[in-house]
């Protein structure tokens, strides 16, 4: 409450508070309260239906395993997360604070994604290890208008007045044309204490990537990922564009990925993956081995919807197997070059539409499992690994959900309740999608 009073004194124009949270789909939701009512959030918390955490991507509650309608849709109590109170940079009469929920009978809500990540991170904490992680998102800037067939259009470059058409990866002129938007993204990130770093033009017209700096708290790293995606969307809209983190918005262009870098510090602050050389320690290899072993079961989290699986194809720098290697972007688990003190693994499988809390939870679970069982990842791949699709990797959503539900390892890390609720939410979402008759279906079969 003292923080809230000090914040209001420093921002006298604030008239509203947004209490925000993130559901299983990674959608930012919340409740907006006038200033006169906002103080109770910091004293008593906020009562919200627990079903908000298992809404599907359309925002509907499908009464998952008798939760939502059948049980009367009970409330849990959400409380502010320390250090997340900030001004809303695109609506400066609003403040926002991130929330985390407790169950009615006490204890953290077991199916809140942030709490799931916290539970997994605790397993590494027992080992005396602290994950250091950073999230990278690829996204497309799109024209707000669609073409005559309802398909997305690349944006019109403000500098040239022409629609983006070229694939100029790392092109500076592509950044220059959208410099005002990118500047606002930087300002918004600073206002929300999101440590945004480099921005680059990617492999398709209108595609960009923005990185976050590494941090020693996986919960905050995932918070930053959620907020980055949120603020990029707001900045794009303010400039007349649409930002899309859809995994595969174009059939003939590359998809959008979410790459997460992770290392581990011991109690003395030393990177346990660092052997002083280029290869890294046995712990690095065991961590990668665990990521390999848990990858099939984790696919339901890394690729959470039907469209996400369209991104996986040979020879487009998207992993289609569990290969690993040094300084090799064709593998699933890349060990970047550079200072040995920063030795880490880059997990390159997830799409940009995935929930960063759940992706990071899957990564930390795989790492912990590999350390516990000293799993050998095999020899590193030194050539292109993208040309061989692993038939054991589930590359459809129904198969991925079956693998997830049937995994005793991930059930151990994530908890039965979360696994069953998540899988059923996504299964019903998939079935609902398949009930829609598409225009292509009419073209082919009418």
The two beta strands, 75-80 and 86-87, are unpaired
Tell me what pLDDT residue 106 has.
85
Query: Which strand (E) or helix (H) includes residue 21?
Result: strand 16-22
Q: What is the pLDDT of residues 187-223, one digit of tens each?
A: 999 999 999 987 777 767 888 899 999 999 999 999 9
Instruction: Say how many C-beta atoms besides its own lie within 10 A of residue 445's C-beta.
Output: 7
Q: Which residues pair with 152 in a beta bridge?
A: 146
Question: Is 395 in contact with 296 (CB distance < 8 Å)?
Answer: no
Secondary structure (3-state) at 153 = coil
In CATH terms, 121-445 corresponds, of 3.30.590.10, 3.40.50.620, 3.40.720.10, 1.20.140.10, to: 3.30.590.10
Which of 334, 341, 386 minimizes the C-alpha distance to 136?
Answer: 334
Q: What gap in Å lies between CA 66 and CA 72, rounded to an integer?
A: 9
| Domain locations in the chain as residue ranges | 2-106, 121-445
- Closest by CA to 338, choosing from 266, 398, 263, is 263
Residue 348: count of CB within 10 angstroms of its CB: 20
Residue 247 half-sphere exposure toward CB, CA atoms < 13 A: 21
What integer pLDDT is reported at residue 256 of this predicted model?
96
Tally of CB atoms within 10 A around 1: 11
Q: Are 255 and 310 in contact (CB under 8 A)?
A: yes
The label of the residue with tokens 């919340």 reads 30
**Residue 268: C-alpha distances to residues 216, 235, 264, 271, 367 (Å):** 13, 40, 11, 9, 20
**Tell me: the pLDDT tens digits for 299-322?**
999 999 999 999 999 988 899 999
Cα dist from 142 to 151, 153, 164, 232, 233, whole Å: 10, 6, 10, 12, 11
Q: Which of 265, 242, 226, 109 lies closest to 181 in space, CA to CA? A: 242
What pLDDT score was predicted for residue 105?
Answer: 87
Q: How many residues does the chain have?
A: 446
Q: Cβ of 436: how many Cβ atoms within 10 Å?
A: 7
Cα Rg of the chain (Å, integer) = 22
Neighbours of 8 (CB within 10 A): 15
DSSP for 186-227 reads HHHHHHTT--EEEEEE-SSTTEEEEEE--BS-HHHHHHHHHH
Q: Ramachandran region of residue 396, left (φ > 0), alpha (ψ -120 to 50) or beta? A: beta
What is the rounded average pLDDT for all residues in the chain?
Answer: 94
Query: In this structure, what DSSP letter does residue 157 have?
Result: P
The packing angle between helices 397-405 and 282-302, to 10°, is 120
296 touches 392 (CB < 8 A): yes
Q: Count the helix, strand and coil residues of the chain and give each as a percent rounded to the nearest 5.
A: 35, 20, 40
Q: Are 167 and 205 in contact (CB under 8 A)?
A: yes
Q: What is the mean pLDDT of each run of 10 residues along the chain (446 residues)?
A: 94 97 95 96 95 93 91 94 96 96 92 97 97 95 91 88 73 73 93 88 82 95 97 96 96 94 97 96 98 98 97 92 96 96 97 98 98 98 93 97 98 97 97 92 92
57-86 burial: b if 16+ Cβ within 10 Å, else e: beeebbbbeebbeeeeeeebbbbbbeebbb
Position 77 scores a pLDDT of 96
* pTM, entire model: 0.96
CATH assignment, 2-106: 3.10.20.70
Say if residues 344 and 273 touch (Cβ distance below 8 Å): yes
Q: How many Å apart are CA 124 and CA 65, to the nearest integer?
A: 31
How far apart are alpha carbons 259 and 352 in whole angstroms? 8
């Amino acid at each position: 409450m003292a923080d809230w009073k000090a914040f209001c004194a420093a921002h006298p124009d604030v008239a509203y508070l947004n209490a925000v949270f993130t559901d299983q789909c990674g959608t930012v939701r919340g409740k907006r309260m006038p200033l006169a009512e906002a103080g109770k959030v910091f004293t008593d918390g906020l009562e919200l239906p627990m079903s908000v955490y298992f809404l599907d991507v359309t925002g509907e509650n499908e009464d998952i395993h008798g939760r939502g309608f059948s049980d009367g849709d009970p409330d849990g109590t959400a409380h502010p997360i320390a250090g997340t109170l900030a001004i809303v940079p695109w609506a400066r009469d609003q403040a926002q604070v991130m929330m985390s929920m407790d169950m009615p009978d006490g204890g953290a809500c077991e199916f809140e994604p942030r709490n799931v990540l916290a539970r997994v991170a605790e397993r590494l904490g027992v080992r005396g290890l602290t994950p250091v992680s950073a999230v990278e998102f690829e996204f497309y800037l799109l024209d707000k208008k669609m073409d005559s067939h309802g398909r997305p259009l690349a944006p019109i470059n403000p500098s040239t007045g022409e629609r983006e058409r070229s694939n100029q990866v790392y092109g500076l002129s592509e950044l220059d044309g959208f410099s005002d938007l990118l500047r606002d993204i930087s300002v918004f990130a600073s206002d929300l204490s999101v440590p945004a770093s480099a921005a680059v033009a990617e492999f398709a017209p209108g595609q960009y990537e923005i990185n976050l700096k590494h941090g020693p708290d996986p919960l905050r790293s995932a918070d930053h990922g959620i907020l980055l995606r949120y603020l990029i969307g707001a900045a794009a809209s303010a400039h007349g564009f649409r930002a899309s983190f859809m995994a595969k918005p174009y059939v003939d262009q590359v998809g959008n990925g979410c790459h997460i870098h992770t290392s581990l510090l011991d109690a003395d602050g030393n990177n346990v993956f660092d052997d002083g050389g280029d290869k890294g320690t046995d712990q690095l290899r065991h961590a990668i081995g665990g990521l390999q072993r848990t990858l099939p079961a984790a696919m339901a989290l890394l690729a959470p919807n039907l469209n996400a699986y369209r991104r996986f194809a040979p020879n487009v720098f998207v992993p289609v197997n569990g290969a690993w290697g040094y300084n090799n972007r064709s593998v699933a688990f890349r060990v970047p070059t550079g200072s040995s003190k920063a030795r880490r693994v880059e997990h390159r499988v997830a799409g940009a539409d995935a929930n960063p809390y759940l992706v990071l939870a899957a990564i930390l679970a795989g790492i912990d499992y590999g350390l516990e069982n000293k799993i050998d990842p095999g020899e590193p791949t030194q050539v292109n690994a993208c040309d061989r699709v692993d038939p054991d990797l589930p590359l459809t959503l129904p198969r991925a959900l079956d693998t997830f539900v049937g995994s005793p390892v991930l059930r151990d890390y994530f908890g039965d309740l979360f696994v069953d609720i998540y899988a059923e939410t996504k299964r019903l979402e998939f079935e609902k999608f398949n009930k829609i008759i598409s225009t292509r279906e009419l073209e082919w079969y009418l």
